C-alpha cells in the first residue's frame, strides 16, 4: 500500500545507468537554477527604495547609481564564478573552493552557511509567493502557513520525481516571468520615448542635492539592493548535473543568467525612478510599475501572476543545490552518510526530504512571517561568496597558471567587493544578523564531530596486519524456552545441528512450576541441558541477562562464541500481533545493544 502510494507520487524507480538521460541542457538549467536569482528582481529595487524613502523622495535618484553599483558587483561575481566553474568542473561550490585553498574550517563555514541559506531560500521564497497569492485572494490569508507548507510538500515531491521531469514543469513559469518583465520594460521604455506617459509623481533629476543623506544610509541601501544577487552561486554548485561538456554549458548558463538579471534589474530600477515610484506597504514596486504602464488589464495580471509563481519556484533552487552540497559534505564525512545515497528516481532523496522538512519547520516556527529572515539570508550568501573568492586568489597565487594575473585581478576585485558588502551588512544590520555568530560555530563543530566519529569508526574497522584474528574455537547456544511446543522443538533441533553445547533456559515464577517443568523436560529432551531460573520480580529479562553474562564470561575465556536463539511468532494477520506478548522483541533489542552475544531469530510462521 505504502509503496504503491510512493510509486504514484514519485514515479517508477530508475536504473543507475539512466542517470545520463537526467542531465540538464542550458535552457532547462537556466530555468531550474536561476529562478532564485531572477526572482530577486521582484524585490531588489524595492529594498533600495525602502531605505532611501527614510530620507525623502528626492533621494530616489540615488537608486540609479546604487543599481549601477549592484550591477558592477553582479558582473564581478559572474566573472569570478566563471573561473570557479572552469577550475572546479566537478562542482565547485564555495565549500569545495574554500576548503581546498583556504582550509578545512573555511570550507565548513562556507558549506554550513550555504546549507542554512538554502533552507532560508525555500522558507522565504515560498512564504513570499504565498503572500502574493493571499494578496490576490484575501480569504485565504488565515491559512497562509498551511498553504506555504502544502507548496513546500508539492515542490519536494516534484524534486523526488527527479531533476528533468521537475524541470519540464518548472521551466515555463521562469520563461513566462522573463517574458512578462521584458514586455513590461519594453512597453514602458517605448511609452517614455514616445512621450505617451504622464507619471503620477515627478522624479528628481540625477544629481539633485538631497538634505540629510549620509554614507551610512547609502551603504545600507546598497546592502539591501544586494539581496537581488542571492542565488547567483547556485550554478557553480550544480555543474555535475549539466550535460557534457558540463563546465562549458554551466559557464554559458551563468553568463546568460547574469545578463538576464542585469537587464531586468536595471530596467525595473530605471522605470521605478522615471515614474517616481515610492515603495508602499500594501503594493509592490513591480505592481505599481505594471499598473502605471498597462493599467489594471490582463497584462498587469500576467506580470503579477508570473511574479508570484517565480517566487514560489525560487524555492526550487534550494532543492537543486542543497542535496548536492549535502552530498559533497557527506562524501567528506562531515555529514551523515545517508546524504550520499541516490533515491529511486536518482535524486539525493534524503537531502531533498531533509530540506523540505527543515523549511516546513522554519515556516511553522516563524508563523509564515519570514520577512525579517531576509537580511540573515543575504549574509548567509555573502559569507561563502567572500570565502570562495579568497580561495581562488590563494589558488592563483599558488599555481600561477598562464594568464594568472588577469584571473587573480578579477577574483581580487570580487573578494574585495563581497567582503565590503559583508562588512556593510554587519555594520548596518547587526541587530538582524547577529544570529550568524551563534549558529555558524555550532554547525562547524557539528561537522567536525561527525567527521571525527567516522574516522574513529574507520580506524576501528580497518584490519591491521599485526593483530591476526584468533579463530573461533566453538559455540555455545542458549535457547530460552517457555514451554514444550513445536517452536521450542524447532529451536532445539536447529541448535543441535550447530553445536552440542546447548543450554535450554526456563524462567519460572514459582518453585512448583519449576519442578514440574524440569520433569517434563527430562522426559522430552534428556540430552539437552535445562537450566531453570527463579524470577522473584516476574521479569524474564533480568535472570536471563545474568545467566547470559555468566556463560559469556566463561565462553570468551576459551574463545567460544555465545549465540542466544530467540523464536519469533510471525502471525498471519497484522492485528494478531497485539495478542502476543512482544517480549521476544524487547529481549532481542536488549541483548543486541547491551551484550556481546550473537542473537539469532528463528521465525515461526503461523499458518492461520
Q: How far apart are the first and last CA of the chain?
A: 22
Q: Is 5 in the site for its own copies (CB under 8 A)?
A: no
Q: Find residue 598's DSSP bridge partners.
A: 563
Q: Which is nearer to its own copies, 146 or 604 (CB)?
A: 604
**Minimum distance of its own copies from residue 157's CB (angstroms):** 20
- Return the CA Rg of the chain: 33
Pick from 370, 372, 358, 363: which is nearest to 145 by CA?
Answer: 363
Q: Which is nearer to its own copies, 200 or 601 (CB)?
A: 601
Q: Is 592 in the site for its own copies (CB under 8 A)?
A: yes
Question: Binding segment for its own copies among 37-45, 266-274, 306-314, 479-487 (CB under 8 A)?
Answer: 479-487
Pick from 265, 207, 337: which is nearest to 75 by CA?
Answer: 265
Q: Is 606 in the site for its own copies (CB under 8 A)?
A: yes
Q: Which is nearer to its own copies, 131 or 332 (CB)?
A: 332
Q: Which is nearer to its own copies, 65 or 603 (CB)?
A: 603
Residue 503: strand, helix, or coil:
strand
Tell which one of 90, 453, 529, 553 touches its own copies (CB under 8 A): 453
Tell which one of 426, 509, 547, 590 touches its own copies (CB under 8 A): 509
Tell which one of 489, 500, 513, 519 touches its own copies (CB under 8 A): 489
C-alpha cell at position 70: 549592484
Q: Which is nearer to its own copies, 411 or 563 (CB)?
A: 563
Instruction: Give the total of residues touching its own copies (CB under 8 A).
Output: 70
Q: Find residue 529's DSSP bridge partners.
A: 503
Q: Find residue 502's DSSP bridge partners.
A: 477
C-alpha cell at position 530: 535445562
Tell which one of 469, 512, 527, 550 touches its own copies (CB under 8 A): 469
**Minimum distance of its own copies from residue 66's CB (angstroms):** 46
**Minimum distance of its own copies from residue 233's CB (angstroms):** 28
Question: Binding segment for its own copies among 96-104, 237-245, 414-422, 493-501 (CB under 8 A)?
Answer: 493-501
DSSP assignment, residue 162? -
Q: d(Cα 127, Cα 123) in Å, to the nearest integer?
A: 6
Residue 214: strand, helix, or coil:
coil
**Minimum distance of its own copies from residue 222's CB (angstroms):** 43
Pick from 317, 238, 269: which is nearest to 39 by CA?
Answer: 317
Question: Binding segment for its own copies among 71-79, 214-222, 242-250, 451-459 (CB under 8 A)?
Answer: 451-459
Question: Binding segment for its own copies among 159-167, 407-415, 428-436, 600-608 (CB under 8 A)?
Answer: 600-608
Give me the 545-584 binding string for its own copies, x by CB under 8 A, dash otherwise: ----------------x-x----xxx-----x-xxxx---
Tell which one of 22, 135, 164, 490 touches its own copies (CB under 8 A): 490
Q: Is 161 in the site for its own copies (CB under 8 A)?
A: no
Q: d(Cα 40, Cα 37) in Å, to the nearest integer?
A: 5
**In the block, which residue shows the cell 535552457?**
27
CA–CA distances in Å: residue 71 to residues 78, 270, 432, 545, 596: 10, 13, 25, 72, 65
Q: d(Cα 389, Cα 233) in Å, to the nearest integer?
A: 12
Question: Binding segment for its own copies among 34-42, 79-87, 356-364, 448-456 (CB under 8 A)?
Answer: 448-456
Q: d(Cα 91, Cα 511) in Å, to the nearest integer?
A: 72
Which strand (E) or helix (H) includes residue 308? helix 298-331
Q: d(Cα 407, Cα 74) in Å, to the nearest integer?
A: 17
Tell which one of 11, 14, 412, 448 touches its own copies (CB under 8 A): 14
Question: Residues 26, 249: contact at Cβ < 8 Å?
Answer: yes
Question: Binding segment for its own copies among 1-9, 50-58, 545-553, 590-598 (CB under 8 A)?
Answer: 590-598
Question: Binding segment for its own copies among 112-120, 253-261, 270-278, 449-457 (CB under 8 A)?
Answer: 449-457
Helix-then-strand count for the chain, H and E: 22, 5
Does the N-terminal peptide bond of residue 440 adopt cis geometry, omega within 30 degrees of 0?
no
Among positions 305-344, residues that touch its own copies (CB under 8 A) are 336-338, 341-342, 344
Q: Which is nearer to its own copies, 191 or 496 (CB)?
A: 496
**Minimum distance of its own copies from residue 470's CB (angstroms):** 8
**Minimum distance of its own copies from residue 594's CB (angstroms):** 9
CA–CA distances in Å: residue 358 to residues 211, 352, 364, 490: 46, 10, 10, 49
**Minimum distance of its own copies from residue 327's CB (angstroms):** 14
Phi and psi dihedrals of 232, rounded to 5? -65, -30
Q: Is 1 in the site for its own copies (CB under 8 A)?
A: no
**Minimum distance of its own copies from residue 348's CB (angstroms):** 11
Q: d(Cα 354, Cα 481) in Å, to the nearest integer?
A: 44
Question: Residues 503, 476: contact at Cβ < 8 Å?
Answer: yes
Q: Is beta strand 474-480 parallel, antiparallel or unpaired with respect to 560-570?
A: parallel
Percent helix, strand, coil in the chain, to 5, is 70, 5, 20
Q: Which is nearer to its own copies, 297 or 581 (CB)?
A: 581
Among positions 16-45, residues that touch its own copies (CB under 8 A) are 16-17
Q: Is 496 in the site for its own copies (CB under 8 A)?
A: yes
Residues in the site for its own copies, rule: CB under 8 A? 13-17, 336-338, 341-342, 344, 450, 453-454, 456-457, 460-463, 469, 471-475, 484-487, 489-490, 493-494, 496-499, 509-510, 536-539, 561, 563, 568-570, 576, 578-581, 588, 592-593, 595-603, 605-608
Amino acid at each position: 500500500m505504502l509503496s504503491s502510494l510512493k510509486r504514484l507520487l514519485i514515479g517508477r524507480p530508475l536504473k543507475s545507468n539512466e542517470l545520463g538521460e537526467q542531465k540538464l541542457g542550458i535552457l532547462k538549467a537556466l530555468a531550474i537554477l536561476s529562478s532564485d536569482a531572477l526572482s530577486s528582481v521582484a524585490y531588489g529595487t524595492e529594498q533600495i527604495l525602502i531605505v532611501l524613502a527614510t530620507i525623502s523622495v528626492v533621494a530616489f535618484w540615488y537608486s540609479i547609481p546604487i543599481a549601477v553599483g549592484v550591477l558592477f558587483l553582479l558582473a564581478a561575481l559572474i566573472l569570478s564564478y566563471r573561473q570557479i566553474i572552469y577550475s572546479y568542473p566537478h562542482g565547485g561550490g564555495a565549500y569545495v573552493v574554500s576548503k581546498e585553498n583556504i582550509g578545512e574550517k573555511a570550507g565548513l563555514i562556507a558549506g554550513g552557511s550555504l546549507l542554512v541559506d538554502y533552507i532560508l531560500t525555500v522558507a522565504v521564497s515560498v512564504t513570499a509567493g504565498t503572500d502574493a497569492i493571499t494578496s490576490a485572494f484575501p480569504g485565504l490569508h488565515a491559512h497562509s502557513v498551511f498553504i506555504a507548507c502544502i507548496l513546500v510538500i508539492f515542490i519536494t515531491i516534484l524534486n523526488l520525481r527527479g531533476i528533468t521531469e521537475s524541470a519540464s514543469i518548472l521551466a515555463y513559469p521562469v520563461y513566462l516571468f522573463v517574458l512578462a518583465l521584458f514586455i513590461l520594460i519594453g512597453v514602458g521604455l517605448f511609452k517614455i520615448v514616445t512621450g505617451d506617459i504622464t507619471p503620477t509623481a515627478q522624479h528628481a533629476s540625477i544629481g539633485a542635492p538631497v538634505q540629510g543623506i549620509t554614507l551610512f544610509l547609502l551603504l545600507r541601501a546598497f546592502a539591501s539592493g544586494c539581496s537581488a544577487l542571492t542565488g547567483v552561486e547556485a550554478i557553480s554548485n550544480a555543474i555535475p548535473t549539466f550535460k557534457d561538456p558540463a563546465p562549458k554549458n554551466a559557464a554559458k548558463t551563468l553568463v546568460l543568467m547574469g545578463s538576464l538579471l542585469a537587464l531586468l534589474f536595471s530596467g525595473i530600477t530605471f522605470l521605478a525612478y522615471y515614474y517616481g515610484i515610492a515603495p508602499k506597504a500594501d503594493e509592490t514596486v513591480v505592481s505599481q510599475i505594471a499598473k502605471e504602464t498597462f493599467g489594471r488589464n490582463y497584462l498587469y495580471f500576467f506580470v503579477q501572476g508570473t511574479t508570484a509563481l517565480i517566487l514560489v519556484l525560487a524555492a526550487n533552487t534550494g532543492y537543486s543545490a542543497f542535496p548536492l552540497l549535502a552530498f559533497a559534505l557527506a562524501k567528506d564525512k562531515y555529514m551523515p552518510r545517508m546524504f550520499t545515497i541516490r533515491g529511486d528516481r536518482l535524486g539525493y532523496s534524503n537531502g531533498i526530504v531533509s530540506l523540505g522538512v527543515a523549511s516546513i519547520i522554519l515556516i511553522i516556527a516563524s508563523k509564515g512571517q519570514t520577512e525579517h529572515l531576509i537580511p540573515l539570508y543575504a549574509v548567509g550568501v555573502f559569507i561563502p561568496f567572500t570565502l570562495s573568492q579568497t580561495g581562488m586568489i590563494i589558488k592563483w597565487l599558488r599555481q600561477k597558471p598562464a594568464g594568472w594575473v588577469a584571473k587573480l585581478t578579477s577574483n581580487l576585485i570580487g573578494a574585495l567587493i563581497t567582503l565590503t558588502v559583508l562588512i556593510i551588512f554587519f555594520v548596518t544590520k547587526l541587530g538582524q544578523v547577529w544570529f550568524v555568530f551563534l549558529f555558524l560555530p555550532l554547525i562547524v563543530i557539528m561537522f567536525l564531530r561527525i567527521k571525527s566519529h567516522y574516522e574513529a569508526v574507520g580506524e576501528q574497522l580497518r584490519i591491521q596486519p599485526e593483530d591476526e584474528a584468533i579463530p573461533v574455537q566453538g559455540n555455545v547456544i542458549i535457547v530460552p524456552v517457555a514451554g514444550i511446543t513445536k517452536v521450542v522443538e524447532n529451536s532445539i533441533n536447529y541448535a543441535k545441528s550447530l553445536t552440542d553445547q546447548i543450554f535450554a533456559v526456563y524462567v519460572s515464577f514459582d518453585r512448583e512450576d519449576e519442578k514440574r517443568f524440569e520433569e517434563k523436560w527430562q522426559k522430552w529432551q534428556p540430552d539437552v541441558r535445562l537450566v531453570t531460573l527463579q524470577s522473584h520480580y516476574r521479569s524474564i529479562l533480568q535472570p536471563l541477562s545474568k545467566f547470559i553474562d555468566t556463560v559469556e564470561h566463561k565462553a570468551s575465556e576459551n574463545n567460544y562464541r555465545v549465540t542466544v536463539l530467540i523464536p519469533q511468532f510471525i502471525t498471519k494477520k497484522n492485528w494478531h500481533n497485539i495478542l502476543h506478548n512482544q517480549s521476544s522483541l524487547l529481549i532481542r533489542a536488549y541483548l543486541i545493544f547491551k551484550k556481546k552475544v550473537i542473537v539469532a531469530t528463528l521465525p515461526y510462521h503461523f499458518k492461520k
